Amino acid sequence: MSLAARYLEAHGIATVVLGCAKDIVEGVGVPRFLFSDFPLGNAAGRPHDVASQDTTLELALRLLESACGPRSTLQSPLRWSVKPDWKLDYSNIARLSPQELAARRAEFDAQREVARGVKAQERE
């Protein structure tokens, strides 16, 4: 996404990249970057939380109009959780009980079978 933003900018189209991996996005050098300290894949706001998504969009548009130079980064004031240890728990397999791990594996396997069925139907 960062490379696409740089290409668009080079051709006169202003961009704002929304992201959760600050070191990676800033390393690529996008012109405008709205950083959300959220789990990867949630840069546009919390899932099913329209207010956080609206706030994120508003911040991105403000950054688009106010960035004073290249490589401008704005950090979202939104927080994933009031407890900072969410980063220790989020997708951390070592913190799951054997029962929870088995349940998640079963759900993954079920979804994989659904995907295989869809793929097989597309081939027919």
How much is the average pLDDT of 51-70? 93
The pLDDT assigned to 81 comes to: 87
How much is the average pLDDT of 93-99? 86
The whole-chain average pLDDT of the chain stands at 90
How much is the average pLDDT of 89-109? 86
**pLDDT-wise least confident of 41-50, 57-66, 78-87:** 78-87
C-alpha 30/C-alpha 43 separation (Å) is 15
The answer for residues whose C-beta is within 8 angstroms of residue 52's C-beta and 6 or more apart is 45, 46, 78
C-alpha 47/C-alpha 67 separation (Å) is 27
